[in-house]
Amino acid sequence: MLPKSSQLKQLIRMIKTDILIIGAGPCGLFAVFEAGLLKMRCHLIDYLPQAGGQCSEIYPKKPIYDIPGFPKILAGELVENLMEQIKPFKPGFTLGERVEKIKKSQDGLFHVTTSLGTKHISKVVVIAAGLGCFEPRKPNILNLSMFENKGIDYIIKDPMVYKNKKVVISGGGDSALDWSIFLSNNIASEVSLVHRRESFRGHPDSVEKVNQLSKEGKINLITKAEVVDIQGNDNLQLLKIKSDNQIFDLSADFWIPLFGLSPKLGPIANWGLNLDKNAISVNTLDYSTNIEGIYAIGDINTYPGKLKLILSGFHEAALMSQSAFKHVFPDGKKSFKYTTVLGQIEGF
Amino acid sequence: MVKLKVFDVEKKAILIDNTKDNPNNLDTISINIIDFDGEVYILKTLVYPDLNLMEVLRNAEFHMGHCGGMALCASCHCYIEKDNIKLIDISSEEEDMLDQLFTFNQTKSRLICQIPLEKSLDGINIRIVKD
Ligand SMILES: Cc1cc2nc3c(=O)[nH]c(=O)nc-3n(C[C@H](O)[C@H](O)[C@H](O)COP(=O)(O)OP(=O)(O)OC[C@H]3O[C@@H](n4cnc5c(N)ncnc54)[C@H](O)[C@@H]3O)c2cc1C
Ligand code: FES
């Protein structure tokens, strides 16, 4: 099972660690393992509510054929295996939050702040941000930003927020179907599902279930329709729905447009790092960036001959960890050991 | 610089000529592109077998192709003006992805990773859509 943000909700608002990893995709996850072997503790931050990056978000059910030692493995399984492999090193997670700012203080420590204000302090920062931050595809509607987090949610982190509320979901894929089914089961007081087409492209079982719930009056199914306007005072109150060239009102406490996520470089561009197009330039000796103590591994980095492969990111994670050691334990002496020599992986 | 009219935009076009090295005497075609920042390009390319339109644009340094051409990311979403050009039909995978996009246009939207590179694409007009 992948961790869900709701289960891992951080109660402590200041998180301290040796290595802070921005991005919990496959490369960020494997970095925890390589760092752990050298007794360095890691904490990962990701905007997605689950770990796994592209593998979880874009293609969890697709088989990958070029992971060494696995003739074929589903992307989702690879992530589960990585989570299992890093378990002994007890990484922390801040999920569902986007890293906005990185500041280096005079003592060399990094202060990293997220979109929800969670503060992290670390000796080393590793940027494993892939293609960038997965951000929701937003409908092109006036006043949208006025109601974000005031009735409009793009990602569901804690379904209990919708308890006894009138919820409208837009979209035709699996997440729109699955959440409609879930929330209609004694959580929301009213669930409407608005979809542009008549047919749904989700899993046939889910489509059948939604149709069934619609017949039972538990889901208000509105097809060949889209939300064209939103209204409210402080919070969202009303959606205008266009269907067959007619516009009607639908009262709503929440509107959840689920139209998938797409990666955007986002705040990384403002951190003073040397960029080449949409990637961070690194030194291939150890994948360090132009800022001492900040490394970049995986799809986010670039160097001559770079291949955007999981395999390359794993290698980069290993070399990065060897180099990061000097920042974490300036007086420490590391010796290189095979995991076979270490025997059972000793965690924290 | 040639002045080019692509969709409703008439602007000086930047020429990208990737046809100079052609030992196998492949056919040459010309693709008219408006990037999402409004810049207009004429991309001359050889008709390599087994490439798709996204790969040709990506090789010319247009930023797209995150999913490698599996109709899973929409980074290659473009509006296409067809004129007399017959394009391969939209598959259900492509339709599923397009359906998620607010910028979807019933007559013009395509994921160009799903369009094989062919001689018949010569003169095609493409507008890259910002996701
Ligand atoms: C359809 C498809 C098929 C593929 N097939 C293969 C294959 O067969 N073999 C192969 O080797 N590779 C394949 N890849 C590529 C592979 O998935 C990537 O190389 C890999 O996911 C990169 O891992 P990563 O950890 O660097 O980044 P990602 O997996 O992109 O993860 C980065 C994470 O960082 C997060 N993030 C970014 N910025 C921020 C921020 N500011 N704050 C918080 N979080 C942030 C993102 O939300 C994301 O979750 C495929 C990719 C796709 C899309
Ligand atoms: S490259 Fe991903 S959809 Fe075309």
Q: What percent of chain A has pLDDT over 90?
A: 77
| Nearest CB to B66 within list A131, A139, A201 | A131
How far away is chain B from the Cα of A138, in angstroms, using its nearest Cα?
A: 8
Q: Which of A243, A259, A275 is at the close of a domain?
A: A259
Whether pLDDT at A7 is above 70: no
Domain finish residue from A259, A289, A306: A259
Q: Let me know if residue A86 belongs to a domain.
A: yes
Q: What is the pLDDT of residues B59-96, one digit of tens each?
A: 999 999 999 999 999 999 999 987 778 899 999 889 98
Q: Which of B61, B72, B103 sits opposite A58 (nearest CB)?
A: B72
In degrees, rounded to 5, the angle at the alpha carbon of residue A35 between the alpha carbons of residues A33 and A40 is: 125
Residue in chain A closest to B68 (alpha carbons) equals A308
**How many CB atoms are located within 10 Å of the residue A32 CB?**
30
Based on the number of CB atoms within 10 Å of its own CB, is A7 exposed (0-12), middle (13-18) or buried (19 or more)? exposed
Read off the tokens for A301.
């980095």
Q: Same domain for A67 and A175? A: no
Chain B residue with Cα closest to A132: B66
Q: Measuring CA to CA, which residue among B82, B65, B67 is closest to residue B126?
A: B82
pLDDT one-digit tens code per residue, A216-231: 999 999 999 999 999 9
- In tens, the pLDDT along A23-37 reads 999 999 999 999 999
**Same-domain pairing of A306 and A333:** yes
> Of A259, A290, A325, which closes a domain?
A259
Quote the pLDDT of residue A340.
87
**Is residue A3 in some structural domain?**
no
Average pLDDT over residues A263-276: 93
Among A160-169, A302-311, B59-68, the range scoring the smallest mean pLDDT is: B59-68
Average pLDDT for A227-249: 95
* Closest Cα in chain B to A130: B66
| Residue A117 within any structural domain of the chain | yes
Same domain for A167 and A155, yes or no, is yes
Answer yes or no: is A60 within a domain. Answer: yes
Q: What is the CATH number of the domain that holds A22?
A: 3.50.50.60
Q: What pLDDT, on a 0 to 100 scale, did the predictor assign at position A104?
A: 96
Mean pLDDT value across chain A:
93
Q: What is the pLDDT of residue A2?
A: 52
Identify which of A56, A62, A51, A25 has the alpha carbon closest to the alpha carbon of residue A309.
A25
User: Which residues are bridge partners to A191 per DSSP?
Assistant: A167, A219
Q: Which two tokens stand for residue A120?
A: 């992290």
- Both A221 and A197 in one domain: the answer is yes
pLDDT of B1 strictly over 70:
no
**A79 and A40 in a common domain:** yes
CA distance A156 to B34: 36
Claim to verify: residue A156 and residue A221 sit in the same structural domain: yes
A124 strand-pairing partners: A19
A233 within domain boundaries: yes
pLDDT band at A263 (very low <50, low <70, confident <90, very high): confident
- The pLDDT of residue A203 is 84
B99 contacts chain A (CB < 8 A): yes
Atom number, ligand 2, closest to the C-alpha of residue B69: 1
pLDDT band at B10 (very low <50, low <70, confident <90, very high): confident
Q: Which of B66, B77, B96 to mutate to test the interface with A (most CBs of A within 10 A)?
A: B66
Which of residues A341 and A144 earns the better pLDDT score? A144
Q: Could you give the ipTM of this predicted complex?
A: 0.83
Rounded to a whole number, what is the distance in Å from the CA of A106 to chain B's nearest CA? 38
Domain that holds residue A165: 138-259
Note whether B131 contacts A262, CB cutoff 8 Å.
yes
Please tell me the pTM assigned to this model: 0.88
Q: Please name the member of A59, A140, A201 whose beta carbon is closest to the beta carbon of B99.
A: A201
Mean pLDDT of chain B: 90
In a shared domain, residues A67 and A150:
no
Instruction: Report the C-alpha gap between A91 and A40 in whole angstroms.
Output: 10
Q: What is the pLDDT of residue A13?
A: 66
Closest listed residue to residue A111, CA positions, set A33, A13, A34: A13
Q: What is the pLDDT of residue A8?
A: 53
d(CA B32, CA B54): 14
Residue A346 inside a domain? The answer is: no
State residue A97's pLDDT score. Answer: 92
Same domain assignment for residues A222 and A240: yes
Residue A297 Cα: closest atom of ligand 1: 26
User: In chain B, which among 11-70 make CB contacts under 8 A with chain A?
Assistant: 61, 63, 66-67, 70
| Contact between chains at B73 and A196 (C-beta distance less than 8 A) | no
Do A180 and A99 reside in the same domain of the chain? Answer: no
For residue A58, which residues of chain B lie inside 8 Å, CB to CB? 66-67, 72-73
Mean pLDDT score, A222-248: 94
* Residue at A266 is within a domain: yes
- A270-274, A295-299, B1-5: lowest mean pLDDT where? B1-5
Are residues A128 and A191 both part of a single domain? no
Higher per-residue confidence, A90 vs A277: A90
Residue from B76, B88, B93 to probe ligand 2 pocket by mutation (most atoms less than 8 Å from CB): B76
* C-alpha A58 – ligand 1 centre gap (Å): 9
With CB atoms and an 8 Å threshold, state whether A172 touches B95.
no
Q: Comparing A283-287, B34-38, B83-87, which segment has the lowest mean pLDDT? A: B83-87
Do residue A272 and residue A251 come from a single domain? no
Domains of chain B with CATH codes: 2-128 (3.10.20.30)
* The total number of structural domains that make up chain A: 2
CB proximity list for A69: less than 8 A, separation 6 or greater: none
A244 pLDDT tier (thresholds 50, 70, 90): confident
pLDDT band at A5; cut points 50, 70, 90: low
Contact: B99, A197; criterion CB under 8 Å = yes
pLDDT band at A3, cuts 50/70/90? low
Residue A161 has what pLDDT?
95
Domain-embedded: residue A2: no
**Do A109 and A22 share a structural domain?**
yes
